[in-house]
Amino acid sequence: MPQRRELLVGLAALAAWPARAQAWPSRPIRIVVPFGLGGSADVAARFLAEPLSQALGQPVVVENRPGAGAVIGTDVVAKSAPDGHTLLLMSNTHTANETLLPNRPYVLLRDLAPVAAVNIAHHVLAVHPSVPAQTLPELIAYAKANPGRLDFASSGPGTPYHIAGEVFCAMAGIQMNHIPFRGSNEARTALIAGQVPVMFDAIPTMREQIASGRVRGLATTAPQRSPLLPELPAVAEVVPGYEASIWLGLMAPTGTPAPVIARLHAEIGRILELPATREAQARAGAEPMVMPVDAFADFLRRDIERQREWIRMARIQVN
């Protein structure tokens, strides 16, 4: 009798599943951004929130939970109920952390499930006008002649801007000291003030500072020149093989029902394919990344390995 009763309960649960799936979402959806206000992830989350809310019929709320190299906000999502009402806006900071932070309280692809890739963007290498280098070769020559004298700012340990700087130093054969800040805005302010002389940063934001003369742009980090700053060379023109980017994606707690992930993936893909979205992304220096869920999972696995190779090559450590 107990076995029969358990079987009946299981069959009843399966029968009820379609109704529950149709009821989702039953309350507001929360997108947790484990970074500060104003950064690429925050902007992307807020860009997606309104059209996603319209499509799903529930408010979509963006919640910034920065701290500990994105670990605090990520752990919040990893420990949330897997019911499709809590999502994580993540980046390649997360794939780097798989190597950099061995004691983090979660494992990315164990505790979180891929939902959708969002976009990818490249950086610009900028210096304060006080730096005696007008070009990238001159910066490299100055750094080689003055090892350890230059500092570079980033939005924090393990962030794409940090990795970009460390890998650049390793591939160019120079030494610069990493100065981490609590976000891109703080790091950018320090660069403009001359407190830190070098920084890799988002092209659209830094382009305004370059145009005003507050900073000097030297190169961009895509394999080819950026249409937003076509006058600047790609770093790869001077340091062959160099490339650095920041990409974003959405994940959910492991165990989130497959139909919910499929619906979220479809709606985000639809939003990213809109001409207005592509135009807005181009203005922001980004390009939508649209791929199936399985392909995004493979992308994450490959990026974890790629980040591990870069971190080992550049001997990056987070204290």
**CATH homologous superfamily for 28-120+245-314?**
Bordetella uptake gene, domain 1 (3.40.190.150)
- DSSP label of 185: H
DSSP H helices in the chain:
2-23, 40-56, 71-78, 92-100, 108-111, 136-145, 160-172, 184-193, 203-212, 258-273, 275-283, 293-314
Segment 219-270, tens digit of pLDDT: 999 999 999 999 999 999 999 999 999 999 999 999 999 999 999 999 999 9
Half-sphere CA count of 153, side-chain side, radius 13 A: 26
Segment 44-60, tens digit of pLDDT: 999 999 999 999 999 99
Q: Tell whether the model's pLDDT for residue 2 goes beyond 50.
A: no
Q: Output the pLDDT for position 319.
A: 61
Q: How confident is the model at residue 97 (pLDDT cuts 50, 70, 90)?
A: very high
Task: Label each residue of 82-121 as H, E or C.
Answer: CCCCEEEEEEHHHHHHHHHCCCCCCCHHHHEEEEEEEEEE
Q: Tell whether the model's pLDDT for residue 11 goes beyond 60.
A: no
Instruction: Please compute the mean of the pLDDT values over residues 183-191 and round it to a whole number.
Output: 91
CATH architecture of the domain with range 122-237: 3-Layer(aba) Sandwich (3.40)
Cα–Cα distance measured from residue 153 to residue 165, given in angstroms and rounded to the nearest whole number: 9
Q: How confident is the model at residue 6 (pLDDT cuts 50, 70, 90)?
A: very low
Segment 39-96, tens digit of pLDDT: 889 999 999 999 999 999 999 999 999 988 899 999 999 999 999 999 999 999 999 9
Domain ranges across the chain: 28-120+245-314, 122-237
Q: Tell whether the model's pLDDT for residue 145 goes beyond 90.
A: yes
Q: What is the average pLDDT value for the chain, to the nearest integer?
A: 92
Distance of CA 118 to the CA centre of its chain: 9
Where do we find the tokens 């980040």? 307
Cα–Cα distance measured from residue 21 to residue 33, given in angstroms and rounded to the nearest whole number: 26
